[in-house]
């Protein structure tokens, strides 16, 4: 056994941090958190702290246990220092290199990959709409990149004259506002309204029905 899983508890504020460490309990290690809030409150003499050793084992065992523990709590809660939203990623290049090396080493472990795969499948199963939304987002990003390149090429060949500007302005001015029956978006039936709403509306594709009638 060369590693251990631990929990720091701020007894004053009722907040926790969970992590694992490869080393000994008395080697002076605190944690690897990049949370500015954690370190500010850890150094505050008015706060009382307690460290609990949850388990000991190999590095792989402790990594998996840490992941399982973090999955079992609300990671977005303000009472958890592991909250991803509070991290300040200001690592130097040496630390980044160590993190990359550690991630690559974990990725070589078949048991670790299997466990991570099972966790991912369980998360998708618990939230099936998330898969649809992620797929839509990925497709939209691909379309956006392709569209940007097409617009760039088209604009490089476009010759804009005062007459063409006036014609475009008149078209926009004379086009009436319309409402998408699926998401209630209101706008002129031009550009994004034609491309992203009505029969192409994302709400319609995901929900399969109009939200107005519900």
| Token pair in block for residue 187 | 């706008």
Whole-model pTM: value is: 0.43
Q: How many residues does the chain have?
A: 214
Averaged confidence pLDDT in the chain? 77
Closest to 32 in 3D by CA, of 58, 54, 63, 2 = 63
User: What span, in angstroms and rounded, lies between the C-alpha atoms of 133 and 136?
Assistant: 5
User: What span, in angstroms and rounded, lies between the C-alpha atoms of 87 and 84?
Assistant: 6
CB 201 within 8 A of CB 183: yes
Q: 3-class DSSP state for residue 88?
A: coil
Please tell me the predicted confidence (pLDDT) of residue 205.
Answer: 54
* Mean pLDDT value of segment 131-150: 72
User: What span, in angstroms and rounded, lies between the C-alpha atoms of 21 and 31?
Assistant: 8
Q: Between these two residues, 49 and 148, which has the higher pLDDT value?
A: 49
pLDDT in tens, 117-129: 787 777 767 777 7
Domain positions in the chain are 3-126, 130-158, 160-214
Whether 26 shows a pLDDT value over 70: the answer reads yes
pLDDT in tens, 200-212: 776 665 555 443 3
Confidence class for position 173, pLDDT limits 50, 70, 90: confident
Please tell me the predicted confidence (pLDDT) of residue 210.
Answer: 40
Residue whose token pair is 């500010």: 40
Q: Report how far apart the first and last C-alpha atoms of the chain are (Å, whole number).
A: 58
Q: Between these two residues, 8 and 172, which has the higher pLDDT value?
A: 8
User: What span, in angstroms and rounded, lies between the C-alpha atoms of 149 and 164?
Assistant: 23
């Amino acid at each position: 056994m060369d590693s251990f899983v631990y929990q720091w508890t701020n007894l004053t504020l009722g907040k926790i941090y969970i992590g694992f460490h490869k080393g000994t309990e008395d080697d002076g290690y605190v944690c690897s958190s990049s949370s500015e809030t954690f370190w500010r409150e850890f150094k505050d003499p008015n706060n009382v702290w307690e460290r609990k050793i949850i388990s000991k084992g190999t590095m792989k065992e402790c990594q998996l246990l840490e992941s399982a523990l973090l999955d079992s709590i609300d990671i977005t809660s303000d009472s958890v220092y592991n909250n991803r939203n509070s991290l300040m990623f200001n690592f130097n290049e040496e630390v980044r290199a160590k993190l990359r090396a550690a991630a690559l080493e974990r990725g070589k472990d078949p048991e670790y990959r299997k466990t991570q795969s099972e966790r991912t499948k369980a998360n998708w199963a618990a939230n099936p709409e998330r898969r649809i939304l992620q797929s839509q987002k990925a497709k939209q990003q691909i379309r956006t990149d392709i569209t940007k390149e097409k617009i760039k090429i088209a604009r490089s060949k476009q010759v804009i004259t005062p007459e063409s500007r006036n014609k475009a302005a008149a078209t926009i001015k004379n086009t009436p506002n319309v409402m998408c029956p699926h998401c209630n978006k209101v706008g002129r039936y031009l550009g994004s309204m034609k491309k992203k709403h009505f029969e192409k509306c994302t709400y319609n594709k995901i929900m399969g029905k109009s939200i107005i009638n519900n």
